[in-house]
Structure 1
Amino acid sequence: MSKKQKTFKPKARKPRGFADRLGQEILAEQAMLTRIQAVYAAYGFDPLETPAFEFTDALGKFLPDVDRPGQGVFSLQDDDEQWMSLRYDLTAPLARFVAEHYDALPKPFRRYQVGRVWRNEKPGPGRYREFTQCDADIVGAPAPFADAEICMMFADAVEAAGVPRGDYVIRVSDRKAMNGLLEVAGLAGEDMAAKRLGVLRAMDKLDRLGEEGVRLLLGDGREDESGDYTQGAGLSAAQADVVMAFMAATKDSNAATCAALRDLIGESSDGMQGVENLEKIAEVLTALSCDESRVQIDLSIVRGLEYYTGPVFEADLTFEVEDEKGRPVRFGSVGGGGRYDDLVKRFRGQEVPAVGCSVGVSRLLSALQARGHVTDTGNGPIVVMAMDKDQMPAYQKMAAELRAAGLRAEVFVGSGNFGKQMKYADRRSSPMAIIQGEDERAKGEVTLKDLVLGEKLAAEITDNRQWREDQPAQFSVPREKMVDAVKDVLSRGQSTER
C-alpha cells in the first residue's frame, strides 16, 4: 500500500523588502497625506492616477542585450510578448501621460499623485522594495519661477505634514551651475562624461561621508570600514580643490551664496544660467517672506538621478532623535525633486520643461513618530457586546444608531464569553463597550463601560473592594438615550486616548 501523500502547506511568509502594515500606522499615513494633498490642491494642482504597470521601454529601463529587463524594475511579458514593468517612481508615468495627451492638456499642466512604487533592488534596514510616493509637478513651465513656487509649496507641505518650522530646511542648488563648475574644473566634453558622473556621485555623498570621504572619492577612491573599495573619479588635487570650494560656497544668506557662486563659475555660460536661476528663485522667496530658515541655497545638493537639468532641491530634517542605543541620529532628507526638461522629450522629440517634488512618505512618517509629532488618529470602534445571540438584531440596531451619529461602532460577531469579548475590545483599542444583558433589557437600559477611564483608574486604585463597589467607569442609561450618553462621555475627553 502506498503512503498517503501529504497535503502541501505553503509557508506563511512575505518576500524580503516588503512590509505588512496594520491599523494606526496606515491611518497616521493617510492623515498626513491628506494634509499634504490639501497644500498641493491649494496651489492649484489636480490629482492624477496612472497604472501600476507601464511598458518597460516607456520607463527607460529596457536592456536590449538580455532576454529579460532589469536594472531596478520588476518586469513581466504580456501575452503579446511586450515587456511591462511595475513603475519605480511617479515621474516617468507622468512623462508618458503628458506625451500621450499633450494636445488636450492645459499648459502648464499641474498634477499631484500619491501611489505605491516598486524597486527591484537589494533590500536593507529601512530600505523597502515597495513604498509610497507623494509627488507634485508642473509640466510646460520653464525655470525659474515655477521652480520657486515648487520650493515654497514643498516647504508648506512639510509643515502641513507635521514638521514645525525650524526643524527642516528645503536645500536648493542647480545642475547648470554644477555644469559650470565641471567646465571650470576641466571636465567638459564627451570624453569626460564618466568622470563628470563620478564627481556628481561623490558630491552627493557629502552628508554621509563628510569632506574627507568626498575628497577621496574625487581622487583615486575610498575604502570603507568593511573593506569594500569604491573607485574614485580620478581628479587631480587641483580639480578636487575646485569641486570642494564649490560645495563650501554656501553662505549665511542666499544672496551671498549666489555672489560667491558667480566668482567660482567664471565665464561659463551654462554655469551663469544656473546662477541666474538661483538668484531669481531667491528673489521670489524673499518677496514671499520665505527666508533661509525655510529654503536655503546649498551648493552641496546634487540629487542622484541623472535626468535633472536645472534647479534641484531636497527637504532636510535638521533635528536629532535617539536610536535604540541612545545615540543621536539625524533623519536628513525626506524628499526632493528638481527640473527635468528632457524627460517628455523621449516621447515627443521636443523639449518640454517640467519641475516637481516628491515626499518620501514612509521616511517622513517615521521621523514624525520618532519626534512625537504624529497626530492622534483616534480610537478603535465602540464595541457592542453580544450578550445573548438571539438578540443580535437588537445589538446591530445599536451599532447602526451609533454609526448614524458619526461614531465608529461594531457588534462582536465572534465566539466567546463576556471575558473574551472584553479582551477583544481591548485589543481593538476600543474607547467604550456597550452591554445589554437580560437585566438591562428588562429595565429598558444599556450599560456603558468607559474602557479608557477604567484603564486609568485601575492603575490608581489599590483597594479591590472599593473598585468593585464604585465602578466609576461603568454606568447605565435608558436605551433611548444611549447615543447621547456615548457622545457625552467621548466629548468630555475621558475616552480620547488609549
Structure 2
Amino acid sequence: MSEGKIRRPRAETPKGFRDYFGAEVTERKAMLDAIAGVYHRYGFEALETSAVETVEALGKFLPDVDRPNEGVFAWQDEDEAWMALRYDLTAPLARVAAQYRNDLPSPYRRYAMGPVWRNEKPGPGRFRQFYQCDADTVGTGSVAADAEICAMLSDALETVGIPRGDYVVKVNNRKVLNGVMEVAGVLDPSDAARFEAERGIVLRAIDKIDRLGDAGVRALLGEGRKDESGDFTKGAGLSSEQAEVVMGFVSAKRDSGAATVARLRELVGASLLGAEGVNELETIAALLDAGGYGSDRIVLDPGVVRGLGYYTGPVFEAELTFEILDEKGRKRQFGSVAGGGRYDDLVKRFTGQAVPATGISIGVDRLLAALHAKGRVAADTTGPVVVTVMDRDRMADYMSMVADLRNAGIRAEVYLGNPKNFGNQLKYADKRHSPVAVIQGSDEAARGVVVLKDLILGAKIAENATLEEWKDRPAQVETPRGELVAALRKMLAQ
C-alpha cells in the first residue's frame, strides 16, 4: 500500500448475518407481542438472559460437530475461561434454573425472546444469527406439561394468523426411538456411552427425512452420503437389517393416533424404555383430545426426532402445510417453524439432581416469512407524517406543528435535511412511506393556514392505478392552523 493511502474498512454485513430495517423490526415486534400474549395467558413469565454464557454452561449439544468449536461462536477470556454466544435460549434457562433454584417457583414457567448465534455453514435463508421465541416449564415430569406446550404452540400460531388447516403440530418421543435403536442393536441400556456417535448420526439422519427422502436417510444410516456439491457425510455404519428397523420407525405413522401407537408398540418390542415412551405418547394424545385439540391441529408422528442432543422424551415440531414457490418456481410446502421437547437432564448437569423440563422454540424469522407469504402481517408499517420546511428561519413554527401532532398521538417528524429543494423533501417523505406531508410557506403562515398533501393519492397516480375510488378525494387540502390535528386525522382515516 502506497504511503499516505488510507485503507478503509469494507461496508458489508459479515457472511451469514443480515441487517433488519424499520418495517421488518416493527412486524417482528407485533408478531412477538401477539405470541407473548398467548404465553402470558397460559401463566408463563418473561425472562431475559445474557447473550454470553460460559462454554461449560452451554454444553455440547449442537449437531454441527464438524464446525469450529462444535457450532458455537466461542473465545477465551482474559482469565482463560472460554465464553460463547448462546446458540439457543434453552441452555441458558437450564443455567438459570440451577442458579436460582431456591428462589424460583417450582414448576417454573417462563418464556424468552431474542437473538441466538450458531457457527454453522450459511446458505440461502440460513443465517448465523436468528431470533427465537421460547416457552418452557421446568420442574415437573408430568407429560401434561408437554401436552400444554403443544396446545399453547397451536394457539400461538392461530393467534398470529396461521389458521387451522395451514399448520400441524407433530409429536413424537425420543424414548420410543431409543427403544427402536435398542431393538436395532445401537443402544445398550447398561452402557449409555456405547454407540453414542452412531446414535447421533441416526438422529440427524432421521431429522432430515423431509429434505433427503428415504434414500438419503438410508445412505446416512449406512456408509454415508455424498451431496450435490460433492461433500461426503459419514454414515452410522448400520447393517441393512439394522437400518430397516430404524426406517420402520420413521414410517410408523398411521391414519389415527391409536393406530400409530399400536404400530409403535410392535416396533419397540421388549424394550422397557420404548414401551414407556409409547405410553407417554398415548397419554399426551388423550390430554390434548380432552382439551379440544384434535388431529386437525396436533398429530402423533414418529418422523419427528429433533436434531439437538439434549432431548430425553416427547419432542414436538410445528409444520406449516400450505404451499409456496421456491427460488426456482417449484411448489413446495413451507415446512417447519417451531420445535422442542423434553430435556430432563439439562439442569442435572449443574445440580447433580434430576430436574425435569420441557419446552418449545419458535423460529421467529421463518414464522414471519410465512405470514408474509400468506399476506397476514398485521403490523402497521406506515411512515410518519412529514412537516416540510419552506422557510428556514421559521423552524420554531414547524417544531410547534410537529409537537401538536405528536401530543395528539400522531406519528410525525420535521424534515431536518437541507430545505432548499422542496422536491427533495417530498422524495424523502415518499422514501419514508409517509401518508401526508404538511406544508406552510410564508403566504400560508400570513393567512394562518397549512396545506396537507395526500402522498398516498400521489402514489396511486404515480403507479397508474384506477382513480375511481379516489376521484372525490382532493390531492391536497388547506386548513386553518388551529385545526391541523383534526384535519390530519380526517385525511389519515380516509
- 2:285 & 2:258 partners in 1: Cα distance? 7
Which of 171, 193, 198 is matched with 2:196 structurally? 193
Specify the code of the residue in structure 2 equivalent to 1:204.
D
- 1:435 & 1:277 partners in 2: Cα distance? 68
- 1:385 & 1:460 partners in 2: Cα distance? 26
1:346 corresponding residue in structure 2: 349
- 1:75 & 1:131 partners in 2: Cα distance? 17
- 1:244 & 1:42 partners in 2: Cα distance? 40
* C-alpha displacement of 1:265: 1.7
1:181 corresponding residue in structure 2: 180
2:65 corresponding residue in structure 1: none
- 1:158 & 1:459 partners in 2: Cα distance? 35
1:10 corresponding residue in structure 2: 9
- Closer/same/farther in 2, CA of residues 412 and 13 from structure 1, 3 Å limit: same
Specify the code of the residue in structure 2 equivalent to 1:342.
D
Which of 225, 228, 231 is matched with 1:228 structurally? 231
Q: Which moved more, 1:212-221 or 1:154-163?
A: 212-221
Q: Which moved more, 1:145-154 or 1:190-199?
A: 190-199
**TM-score normalised to structure 1 length:** 0.92
Q: Given the alignment of the two structures, is residue 56 of structure 1 paired with residue 55 of structure 2, yes or no?
A: yes
- 1:318 & 1:471 partners in 2: Cα distance? 43
SS at match of 2:70: coil
1:66 corresponding residue in structure 2: none
> Which runs of structure 2 are paired with 1:380-399 in the superposition (5 Å)?
380-399=383-402
* C-alpha displacement of 1:376: 4.4
- 1:386 & 1:195 partners in 2: Cα distance? 70
Is the CA contact (8 Å cut-off) linking 2:27 and 2:381 kept in structure 1? Answer: no
Q: Which deviations, in whole Å up to 9, do the C-alpha atoms of 1:130-183 show, x marking residues without a partner?
A: 111111100001131100000000111122222121111111100011111112
2:431 corresponding residue in structure 1: 427
Structure 1 residues not aligned, in runs of 5+: 63-68, 493-498
2:492 corresponding residue in structure 1: 490
- 2:327 & 2:269 partners in 1: Cα distance? 49
Is the CA contact (8 Å cut-off) linking 1:321 and 1:371 kept in structure 2? Answer: no
* C-alpha displacement of 1:4: 6.0
2:208 corresponding residue in structure 1: 205
> Which runs of structure 2 are paired with 1:80-95 in the superposition (5 Å)?
80-95=79-94
* C-alpha displacement of 1:212: 2.1
Specify the code of the residue in structure 2 equivalent to 1:297.
L
* C-alpha displacement of 1:61: 4.6
- 1:71 & 1:326 partners in 2: Cα distance? 35
* C-alpha displacement of 1:194: 2.8
- 1:186 & 1:389 partners in 2: Cα distance? 82
Q: Given the alignment of the two structures, is residue 46 of structure 1 paired with residue 52 of structure 2, yes or no?
A: no
Is the CA contact (8 Å cut-off) linking 2:26 and 2:379 kept in structure 1? Answer: no
Q: Which moved more, 1:7-16 or 1:477-486?
A: 7-16
- 2:54 & 2:96 partners in 1: Cα distance? 12
Is the CA contact (8 Å cut-off) linking 1:148 and 1:285 kept in structure 2? Answer: yes
2:315 corresponding residue in structure 1: 312
- 2:388 & 2:159 partners in 1: Cα distance? 39
Which of 229, 232, 240 is matched with 1:237 structurally? 240
1:159 corresponding residue in structure 2: 158
* C-alpha displacement of 1:122: 2.3
Which of 453, 457, 478 is matched with 1:453 structurally? 457
- 2:21 & 2:389 partners in 1: Cα distance? 26
Q: Which moved more, 1:30-39 or 1:232-241?
A: 232-241
Structure 2 residues not aligned, in runs of 5+: 62-67
Is the CA contact (8 Å cut-off) linking 2:30 and 2:379 kept in structure 1? Answer: no
Q: CA-atom RMSD, angstroms?
A: 2.1
> Which runs of structure 2 are paired with 1:92-131 in the superposition (5 Å)?
92-131=91-130
Identity %: 58
* C-alpha displacement of 1:261: 1.4
- 1:20 & 1:453 partners in 2: Cα distance? 31
- 1:133 & 1:441 partners in 2: Cα distance? 52
- Closer/same/farther in 2, CA of residues 97 and 210 from structure 1, 3 Å limit: same
Is the CA contact (8 Å cut-off) linking 2:146 and 2:284 kept in structure 1? Answer: yes
1:272 corresponding residue in structure 2: 275
SS at match of 1:103: coil
SS at match of 1:215: helix
Is the CA contact (8 Å cut-off) linking 1:61 and 1:73 kept in structure 2? Answer: no
Specify the code of the residue in structure 2 equivalent to 1:432.
V
* C-alpha displacement of 1:471: 8.7
1:407 corresponding residue in structure 2: 410
- 1:199 & 1:213 partners in 2: Cα distance? 12
- Closer/same/farther in 2, CA of residues 264 and 125 from structure 1, 3 Å limit: same
1:475 corresponding residue in structure 2: 477
- Closer/same/farther in 2, CA of residues 238 and 72 from structure 1, 3 Å limit: closer
- Closer/same/farther in 2, CA of residues 4 and 109 from structure 1, 3 Å limit: same
Residues paired across the two proteins, number: 480
1:325 corresponding residue in structure 2: 328
- 1:325 & 1:81 partners in 2: Cα distance? 49
SS at match of 1:441: helix
- 1:59 & 1:329 partners in 2: Cα distance? 35
Specify the code of the residue in structure 1 equivalent to 2:273.
D
Q: Which deviations, in whole Å up to 9, do the C-alpha atoms of 1:417-454 show, x marking residues without a partner?
A: 21110000000000000011112111111101111022
SS at match of 2:102: helix
Q: Which moved more, 1:478-487 or 1:12-21?
A: 12-21
